[in-house]
Structure 1
């Protein structure tokens, strides 16, 4: 089995203080989410409504996408359909060529990250400036985002200070957040004013109106879209919702789940281009229809990209986003990415404790931990696990199916831990690699239970 996640995690956790800080920071965001949701008596009702709306939409997707296209075109938006990432990138480039565009700003869009649009356009000699603060930081560092809502969460203030000193000539060693943010603001202001094209993502597209909504905390999507002569919005087809009245359900759960805010600072509605502007919308499949056709994994398309599952996941918090070697990391990424490329991403469903915390916090009730378990079965069935792992799992299955053998192995194991601890603390014991071996119990739980029954 591909073991990229294990190898990349090992690099991340080599810096123990940073790992602990990353863990604590994300748990702080999870706690903010809990406070925001517990203060809303109807929270569970909103989750249920959101889940049902998404279920209904996914079951009637063709009708809603057709309705959305008709309404959007009637509003003056030019609608394009892309089967995959390559076609998406070619459509965007064709619009750029047609309008002779030189300067491009882009707000946060995980779809364009998924399609590697920046790399594609740079190969064509075009510069794309990411305008989200976190995205701009990692763009300067030539790194991918490590989190879908907090792209630079793996970096500390001093890292940002060093990056800005190198690229923006800020004062060396000054890591005051207000100073650094102001430097970024001044740097980006001219980029917005000079840009010919603004590229944005889409959080929600409304079939009833043909409009779409973009949610940001920095207003950078608005600044780009309202100053550029061309606006291209890019969306996966699962972003569709049936009616405008449904939007209030999703806007109430999105920010609370993502950052613990009551609502995002800017929830911007786009329905038609300005009189002097072109507005394009690129609707992308890129494997989504395949996921839609998988009964066990269809629910993953309900995702609204809030990243609540990231912030609660004990594996993500302690292994870092880059260890997932894909655009969308964390638990949700681990069930989306094997659909795109099962062989390359065969390691990701195993990067989980199956504790179920991800499913508990998901605002649209995706059964994430169950899908992780189901993906493991698919991956083993397809032969994308190493032979030693397969043999070990068969051995464990046999042992757990035979109570007498299980008890005997337990006795031997406890005896070995007490008398030969160094044998267990070897490079061949992968479980021990990043852990301390516990003290061996004096007796098994079964023996303890029988003694207490007596």
Structure 2
């Protein structure tokens, strides 16, 4: 199903759609307040963008430096070309320990690689310990947002889920009580965990360290209780120096949730005595994206989710309509790189208003890249026939002022005299299902200009 078809399903529940829209806009407003409180925020954005540009231009050097320093710290470093190899490496590490119980903190990379189903298929119990991730894991759903994975759910949905899976009181909707139920449930999983898997927010080449940012402390608890820590890292997460980290930690959470800083910013440099630490560095299409000059800047993304919180299309269509691990505007850039045919509709799920670019903390030109993807998809023949031929027809009309003017005149007269039920019929004018067309003007701008300007 295309994005528009999936979004149609989300839009059936108008009350939930409106709530989803308003909730994410509230998060966007919190971001704005946090940004205005930092006078040098725009300078920080530029500095972060420059650091990422520099790192990507010398990625091979910093990857080697990171590996050398991590190995010097006693960390085992593994390389995975794609998702399948990543999953095999992680499973082999778990098997080498004779382990069957894994606790996992939030990691969009492992979601991208579909690690959980792979491990479960091979007899390994995997428990997501981030509260939002645990909720959707119990519901057998994918995350709908990179920072707020269960943002599509209301407290009533969570209460029903916990009643079914955790045995809480039916109809319980109090957030504090639901959180306490989750805390008690997860505490025993932490204590039983033999291997802890985490994502990586930043990897510091200079020190060979990985940095994990959480608000719940679940990554710290899992890593410190388990005897083995596996950190799964996309190769674009590198930054050159430890001194660079402060730039990104000041940007990340302000952009994501409007907080001044994450509650926990944890550095993992070497394993504790008697324990093991592994880092799995994953490509999975990243070098391919790096080789695309028009799209390589998308690898600067620090997964804050700000572009999703501001995007009018994402807010009204829901994250699951994108059918990709990273939804929203940035996901619509990354997904065609993975599978152009399957995700051909996503670059068109945008108004190209530029709001995503305006809020991006590392200044990725998101709306420009979405426009460029549309051109690439058109040249590759991946557009639906209806879109392909309608765009060809429209381009011919727009290229001929006479035809364009005549068409505008017919539309103005038609909208003035045709019945409302006909002009707003959902069958051929879906735009008007939830909108009212403006009153048609008596003359076009071109006609007004010819009469007024001599």
> Shorter chain as normaliser: what TM range?
over 0.9
- 2:386 maps to 388
The CA deviation at 1:418 is 2.0
For 1:203, the equivalent position in structure 2 comes to 201
| Distance (whole Å) between structure 2 residues aligned to residue 393 and residue 57 of structure 1 | 39
Match of 1:228 among 205, 226, 229: 226
Q: Secondary structure of the equivalent of 1:225?
A: helix
User: Match of 2:440, SS?
Assistant: coil
- Indicate the residue corresponding to 2:102 in structure 1: 104
Structure-1 residue corresponding to 2:411:
413
1:342, 1:60 → 2: CA distance? Answer: 27
Secondary structure (helix, strand or coil) at the match of 1:213 reads strand
1:263 is aligned to 261
Superposition pairs for residues 352-367 of structure 1, below 5 Å?
Answer: 352-367=350-365
Q: Give per-residue Cα distances to partners, 1:113-157, cap 9 Å, x unaligned.
A: 000000111111222100000000011111100000000000111
In the other structure, the counterpart of 1:444 is: 444
TM-score by length of 2: 0.98
Counterpart among 235, 238, 244 of residue 236 in structure 2:
238
Q: Which residue of 2 aligns with 1:319?
A: 317
Deviation of the 1:450 alpha carbon:
4.1
Distance 1:330 1:172 in 2: 34
Q: SS of 2:437's equivalent?
A: coil
Once the two structures are superposed, the pairs formed by residues 135-146 of structure 1 within 5 Å of their partners are 135-146=133-144
Q: How does 1:28-427 map to 2 (within 5 A)?
A: 28-421=26-419, 422-426=421-425, 427=427
Deviation at 1:402, TM superposition (A): 1.4
Cα deviation digits, residues 60-84 of structure 1 (max 9, x gap): 0000000000000000000000000
Q: How many equivalent pairs are there?
A: 452
> SS where residue 99 of structure 2 aligns?
coil
* Counterpart in the other structure of 1:15: 13
Q: Measure how far apart 1:215 and its partner are.
A: 0.1
Structure 1 residue 175: Cα displacement: 0.8
Q: Residue 449 of structure 1: CA displacement?
A: 3.8
The gaps in structure 2 that reach 5 residues or longer are none
Instruction: State the alpha-carbon separation in 1 of the partners of residues 87 and 404 from structure 2.
Output: 55
Shift of 1:5: 0.6
> Normalised by the size of structure 1, how large is the TM-score?
0.98
Shift in Å at residue 448 of structure 1?
Answer: 3.4
Q: Hey, what's the Cα distance between the residues in 2 that align with 1:391 and 1:433? A: 24
Contact 2:100 2:123 in 1 (8 A): no
Aligned to 1:205, the other structure's residue is in SS state: strand
Give the drift of 1:443.
2.1
- Are the aligned partners of 2:344 and 2:377 in contact in 1 as well (CA < 8 Å)? yes
| Distance (Å, rounded) in 2 between the aligned partners of 1:239 and 1:6 | 32
